[in-house]
Structures are given as C-alpha cells and as structure tokens.
Amino acid sequence: MSLLEVRDLKVHFPIKAGTLLQRTVGAVKAVDGVDLDVEAGTTFGLVGESGCGKSTLGRAIMRLTEPTSGSVTLDGQDILALGERKMRAVRRQFQMVFQDPMASLDPRQSVESLLTEPLRAHKIPGGSAGHAKRIRELLDVVGLPESVVHRYPHEFSGGQRQRLGIARALVLNPALIIADEPVSALDVSIQAQVINLLKELQERFSLTYVVIAHDLAVVRHISKTVAVMYLGGIVEQAPAADLYKQPLHPYTKALMSAVPVPDPNVEESRSRILLQGDLPSPANPPSGCRFHTRCPWKQATKCDTDRPALRELPLVAPGHKVACHYAEDILAGKITPHDVRPEDVELVPAGETTSGTEAAADATEAHVAGGLTPGGPPGAH
C-alpha cells in the first residue's frame, strides 16, 4: 500500500502587478498537475533540471508551501483537509533534509539543544534523562560521537553537518523523509557516505524517502522508483532499473544521453541528444506537451495542442509510465528524431496589459534568480 499518494497537485504562485501589487495578472505554475505514489519503506527519486519545480513539490507535499489544488494523502489521511492543530500533530510523521543543513540548523543552538527542541515541542515523554538518552542513540545511528553534544553547527564539516541534519530529521521517528538535494553541496567522496547512511537508516527504521536531485546518478542506486520532472509535471516514471535501461520520453532520453558511461567503447559509440532552446518560463508554459518547443520527436498534430497524460504502455515493464502522445511509435522506431528550431516562447499572452508584461518579466527574473540553467540537463552539471 502507498504511504504517500499525491493527486493532481498544483502550486501556482500568483504574479502581482500595480503600485500596491493588488492585481493578480498571472501565475508561476511551479507544480502543475502531479500524481505520484510512494510505497512504505521505499525511496522515490525525483529528478529534473533546475527550476522544474522539484523543491516546490517537496514543500507542497509537507504543506510547507500551501498547494493551490489537488490532494496529498499520507497513510490514508487527506492532509490538505486538516486544520492547523491536527496538521501540527501530523507534522511529526514527516521531516525534511535540506541541501544546506546550515540554513535549517540555528547556528546559535548546540547539538543538544537542536536535537532536544523537537522532543520538547511535541511533548515527547521521557523527561531530560529520556531525551538525553534518545540524543545519544541518534548520534550513534548517524555516525557522530557522543562528545559532539555541546558543539555548534559551524564547528562541523559539510558531511558531519548533513549527518546532524539527518539526526534532527529522525528525532521524532518520522514515517516519511523528503530529502531535497541532500548531497549536492558535498564533495563526491562524502556524497557516497551520506547516501549509504540514508540507505542503512531506511533498512533499520523502515523509513520512506522522497529524494530530490538534479543528478540522475544520485537517485539511481537509492530509489525503487524514479520520476523525471519537466516544467511542473512528471513526464516519465518507472522502476529505477527500467528507467535507466529503456528511457521512453524524449526528455529523459536527452538527460540519459548526457550522462557519461564508464565503458570507453560504449561511450564512443553513443549518440548524444543535445536539447535546443531554453527551459520555458513556468509563468507561461507552452501549450499541449510542455516539451514540444524542444522535442526532437515533435509531430505536427497533438504535440502543441493536447497535454499528454502520464500513462503506462502495454509493451514495457509494469509501472513504467510516460507522458508522450507518440511513445509507442518512438519505441518502435516508427518516428525518428529531427532538428529542432527552438520556437519563441511568449512571456505573456497576447493582449496582456503593460503592467502585466512587467509582472511577467519580473516573474521570469525571479525564476532565473531561482537557479534556472537554460538547456542544461541535470546529468551535465
């Protein structure tokens, strides 16, 4: 059974205009109709290039960002329907691990204080002695010595700090952990240690993870299922091995073709799919298939008018889903890639007012400031 079920989740950030920003002239569609299921005790990997909506989706699942519409069900409970008091109690069940633990750990608090705070806030019984015992156990499970209890976050290395971030996420025995780029700020050698730690903890405590990364390699070995996100939607989702063996969506094919293969013979004979054009703005996403402005397989009908649903194909592995009208024909080699002339993606709908234009331009700036890397596939970073 799924521990987490997400249905048609949308997060649209309003674009305001006017002197007092009182008019809403559009929306940044950061997450725009996402369905996903995460089985208890497994890892769901979520990949996609910068700005595609991964963090917003993670935050919306935890209601750290309020979704615009859709549903999020955790262990059978519709959490978007909960009032503030009930939501506070449910919050214990899910925790987040961040890319930069310094941003989430108060630098003025010692390790002891950082780890005791959630126990006190949720009135966990045991008193000071019980809490101190729990902290010693936690430090042990994340591989930190007991002696660090009186130290402060800035005294740790990046890897140790992430271990501390993981310890804090574990304090309340959560069922679900959403790890947003948990290793992307760490050296490559340390990345493997932290990924291995997450794996060990999952086995030991039957944890369920959603691991967000822009790097396909990070999620490959830890995930049961991997989903690829593009411009606010999931374009492909499959058991990890199947996705890497047989990517079906043109966008996934392009991402995979950018990841180097360790075998030099295979590497030399591989053909790269270089994506043309920038990632369009989520303030004005392309019509139809969001990928049609960059897709080398784009066809004259349907691609720019109908948004394809995420669907399972009959002839591929069970659970392998793809959002492409022509997935069967691409798989069978009936249609082949062609050159792409990047279409100009309008920033504002025709007829929009001047202030609307400014607002949309602002939104585009905000989106660039949010770390968008035009055209850069995750594997290439």
Ligand X SMILES: Nc1ncnc2c1ncn2[C@@H]1O[C@H](COP(=O)(O)OP(=O)(O)OP(=O)(O)O)[C@@H](O)[C@H]1O
Contact residues: ligand X, CB under 6 A? 13, 28, 30, 48, 50-56, 214, 282, 366-367, 370-371
Cα dist from 14 to 71, 123, 239, 282, 284, whole Å: 20, 37, 35, 12, 12
Name which of 116 and 191 has its Cβ closer to Mg ion: 191
Piece of 12-20, 87-95, 278-286, 298-306 that binds ligand SF4 (CB under 6 A)? 298-306
Which tokens in the block code for residue 137?
């156990």
Among 11, 218, 303, 359, binds ligand SF4 (CB under 6 A): 303
Q: How many residues bind ligand SF4 (CB under 6 A)?
A: 14
Which phi and psi (to 5°) does residue 26 adopt? 170, -170
Query: How far apart (Å, rounded) are the C-alpha atoms in residues 301 and 326?
Result: 10
Name which of 10 and 92 has its Cβ closer to Mg ion: 10
* One-letter amino acid for residue 194 of the chain: V
- 87-116: which residues touch ligand SF4 (CB under 6 A)? none
| Cα–Cα–Cα angle for 218, 6, 178, rounded to 5 degrees | 35
Binding partner of 44, given ligand X, ligand SF4, Mg ion, none, CB within 5-8 angstroms per partner class: none
Q: How many residues bind Mg ion (CB under 5 A)?
A: 1
What is the DSSP-derived secondary structure letter of residue 238?
E
Piece of 130-138, 163-171, 256-264, 296-304 that binds ligand SF4 (CB under 6 A)? 296-304
| Torsion angle (degrees, nearest 10) of CA 223, 61, 58, 117 | -100
Burial class (CB in 10 A: 0-12, 13-18, 19+), 205: middle
Piece of 50-58, 64-72, 264-272, 336-344 that binds Mg ion (CB under 5 A)? 50-58
Cα dist from 350 to 45, 286, 356, 379, whole Å: 38, 14, 11, 36
Piece of 174-182, 254-262, 284-292, 350-358 that binds ligand SF4 (CB under 6 A)? 284-292
Q: Does 55 bind Mg ion (CB under 5 A)?
A: yes
Q: Does 321 bind ligand SF4 (CB under 6 A)?
A: no
**Residues in contact with ligand SF4 by the rule CB under 6 A:** 249-250, 289, 291-292, 295, 297-299, 303, 308, 324-326
